[in-house]
Amino acid sequence: METQASDTVTDSHQTQCCIVGAGPAGMVLALLLARKGVQVTLLESHRDFDRDFRGDTIHPSTLEALDQLELADRLLEIPHGKLEFMQFSSNGTTTTVANFRRLRTRFPYVMILPQARFLDFLAEEARQYPSFRLELGANVQQLVQTDGVTQGIRYRGLDNAWHEVRAPLTVAADGRFSKIRSLCGAEPIKTAPPMDVLWFRFPRRPGDPHDQITFFVGGGLFVFFLDRGDEWQVGYGLMKGSYSEVKSAGLEAIRENLVRLVPWVADRVETLQDWKQVVVLSVESSRLPTWHQPGLLLIGDAAHVMSPVGGVGINYAIQDAIEAANVLTEPLRTGQMTEAHLAEIQKRREPAVKAIQWFQGLIQDRVVKTALDKDRPFRLPWPARLMLKIPGIRDFPARMIAFGLYRSRIKE
């Protein structure tokens, strides 16, 4: 894993923790370590945080954690949306599957804020701490390893030169296509979700629905609309592997299907005119059997890619970061970190990840598959309909989405 002779490293910098990827996981971990005086270098390949849509949700558990840091009220001052219900609508019947209003928390809703704005807010906060260093445009390409122990990374900077960061701990928070995961040879256990999603945008108009996300289901299709202020981010579900068939049927077929399922979009479907407006998300779900190696920890999507069911990836990535900070702050500060500390983080987080992935698998098999089968009329399965009527357990889906199996709290 050494650089080529022609790729001379122009500078090397020593820190206590090197984090690769300034998404929700990397940014929150960097902030939590820096505020406790741990020297952190956070490396991000993009020049800023404004990139393709990857979810704008900030869940109650994250708001509770920010509240512990006395940041929640300031974050809530930024103009945002609130999601209070998650619903299914099919054949004229609408069923609420998650009512966040009933949760016992100061924040009984999912806050909707463009992710770039959220990351900017956290970066601004972290910059107040002298032990925090953020390098944008730092594309990490290599691990520095000696005798199987990771001792840092090498990245290409905006100047196109090689730079090195050395640290007793490198954290891979570099997302679903993690470079570090492939460099260290970690192999995820994969499952096969039955769907893919097409993403595109429509204008949002006064009088459109708000405070809710509704999955419109029927005729072998499901569609949902995410509120992004002046526009809708539209998710259009399709059976895995059917993209070329859908593409050859053309955009006109998509527009017709949308109007059939969701009549109020008839006045704007014509804005969808070109396949360049459409992004295909190949839905994946996987998790690493082991999240660590000597000197290296993987968290967030780098350790477990989440299915989009329930929109929980950001929440789980942030909870990984909170537990990582809880376990690592002292050992990093005192230079006493061992691999047992890294194993402890996996031990704390893995049950929650396994539980939500099991739950998502169940929904994919019992709900999404039926929704995408055009030969079967869609109805929520009876155990789900029954569960949603019983006080005490009817809020299980809302709790799993809002908090996960348990709430991670920041250790003071």
Residue ranges in contact with ligand FAD by CB under 6 A:
20-26, 43-46, 53-55, 57, 138-140, 173-176, 179, 199, 281, 300-302, 306, 308, 311-315, 317
**Residue number, 180 or 239, with CB nearest to ligand FAD:** 180
* C-alpha to C-alpha distance for 147 and 51, rounded to whole angstroms: 37
Rounded least distance, CB 115 to ligand FAD, Å: 7
Rounded least distance, CB 279 to ligand FAD, Å: 7
Rounded least distance, CB 385 to ligand FAD, Å: 25
Rounded least distance, CB 45 to ligand FAD, Å: 4
Angle of helix 60-68 relative to helix 313-334, nearest 10 degrees, comes to 30
Rounded least distance, CB 335 to ligand FAD, Å: 26
Angle of helix 313-334 relative to helix 24-34, nearest 10 degrees, comes to 30
* C-alpha to C-alpha distance for 59 and 109, rounded to whole angstroms: 7
**Residue number, 293 or 319, with CB nearest to ligand FAD:** 319
**Residue number, 172 or 391, with CB nearest to ligand FAD:** 172
**Residue number, 314 or 352, with CB nearest to ligand FAD:** 314
Residues 6+ apart with CB under 8 A from 365: 194
**Residue number, 340 or 406, with CB nearest to ligand FAD:** 406
Residue closest to 175 by CA, chosen among 360, 350, 23, 18: 23
Q: In 178-220, which ranges are E strands?
A: 189-191, 195-203, 212-218
Query: Dihedral of CA 327/191/276/273: which sign?
Result: negative
* C-alpha to C-alpha distance for 3 and 162, rounded to whole angstroms: 9
Token pair 């155990």: residue: 383
The three-class DSSP label of residue 82 is: strand
**Residue number, 240 or 379, with CB nearest to ligand FAD:** 240
Rounded least distance, CB 41 to ligand FAD, Å: 11
* C-alpha to C-alpha distance for 136 and 21, rounded to whole angstroms: 10
